[in-house]
Amino acid sequence: MLESLGISRQQAWEYANTRKGYWRTSNSPILNRSLKNEVLEKLGFISFSNYYRQVTA
């Protein structure tokens, strides 16, 4: 998946096989550059800010 978002095969492999926890990996430069909110919304995820707006409206 990361390769389809423009990340090299080597970098994708490194991040897929890291020993760091999920929370720390989620703030990595690779993921911040490749997994934008638009990509996550296309995959069916709702951003926290949009969810908050829906709940408080």
Sign of the four-CA dihedral 5, 7, 1, 35: negative
Predicted local distance difference test score (pLDDT) of residue 28: 84
- Signed CA dihedral, 37, 38, 44, 49: sign only: positive
Number of structural domains found in the chain? 1
In sequence order, what are the residues at sequence separation of 6 or more whose Cβ sits closer than 8 angstroms to the Cβ of residue 30? 2, 7, 11, 12, 15
Mean pLDDT over each residue of the chain, to the nearest integer: 86
pLDDT at 29 over 90: no
Helix (H) or strand (E) holding 31: helix 29-34
Please report the pLDDT score of residue 20 as a whole number. Answer: 82
**Domain membership of residue 9 as a residue range:** 3-56
